[in-house]
Structure 1
């Protein structure tokens, strides 16, 4: 595969599809705030229909590694658990023999990759929360603590999407998706939530009743470890924190999201949509688009 020079590529105006929650929405990249060493975006500002957020971007070369990067450790001896949870068998630590996954005292410790923690910590120190929706102007004016900050977002509200550099990427099918940051097996989440629930002395029905009415047919599936089980979406985690009166490592990890870069694959004929517009200037590109999308005269 040809290596791309990310430093020379433009991303402003590129579409972002949010598939992390119950309601799907679309936004656009406003500006790159920080890049990886090779120039690929690491932190970006995204506009969502009048609101904006800072988002963490997974590097394509490390996407799978980070997504599968949660580490589970024995709460007794702190050794890493290669197989964190067996929903059908006994769960004991292979190093010290301690019983696991029985109650809150035997819950494994959960650790996130250092590079993710450092990124979040850095933004928190600058008084920004990754993924938090705020008015676009507030990214320019103030941090969430109300202190004046050095603006990294000058001119974010003045982008002309039609003329944005990301327009060409949109045409060839490149965009970002906003998804849950970590991939984790559903039975692990179900057992974790069941232990937190029992620790609070709550039945599944009682937990369900603490959620809005539209959750009535959803919450019960979070506690199932069979094929009918599901995982809470990131926006549900704050509600679970309130109900269980706890903000622990796994819930914190489940609440995190990231952007993933989606790009077209080369066709079987060896060409992709980008081949047809490569080298076109803006005027030629507009003529090409008009030819594609203008109604045919009869």
Structure 2
């Protein structure tokens, strides 16, 4: 692995259901990027987080949902810990507060995992940028900095309006018997999802404060102007902007075709429609948990 270079890897961070998939696909269409499941020739592959890759058992415990076997006792889901790992109970078991105490073997194991992906999928080993959107890393930016010291990683934290995504997740995942199927009242599910949203973005924004390797944006701005949004990330990450990275008609799918109905035209999501339907009680619960973080991300606090 010594001959494989990790060059300014780009991490797109946020919460599941936060719009990261379509944004990541834009960057995976670039000819000089690769990700855990491929490169521009497989840009529309489905799951592409490191912790859902089929070989992720090789990832050190600190970097993986699979090899970290903790489950909050009241949230026993194996659905990639969807919106559970950053609840107040889950956070201490998945957040690495002091990366300096992580063994060199684990840090090196993560680097070698990234190098293996680059070796397998780079079109040009001398010009390849690794892209990842593993949501677990949203609460572990300092850990990635420690593992990638000397490789100039870039972190882009992507917010999503909580008044839409928190109620959606509480109903469609926590209380959905085909997803988590948790047996709890809706307000409890709403509170736990609020904890997850708040901790994810409160931790990430604090970890970014004072560092020039980080950029904080909101996904709503991508849907409003994808070209400007992606251009800004390209400039920050030192990637060449390509107009073809933006969703447009007549862009051929790969054999995966997982984005066939989610790519073009860009459609307003159900999450955004839910934002307009929140009740006063939902807003009260969300505000009580997330209030200061909502304002820190630049969203309006709804009463």
TM value normalised by structure 1: 0.27
Structure 1 or 2: more strand by fraction: 1
Greater Cα radius of gyration, structure 1 or 2 = 1
Structure 1 or 2: more helix by fraction: 2
TM value normalised by structure 2: 0.26
Which gives a bigger RCO, structure 1 or 2 (Cα 8 Å, sep 6+)? 2
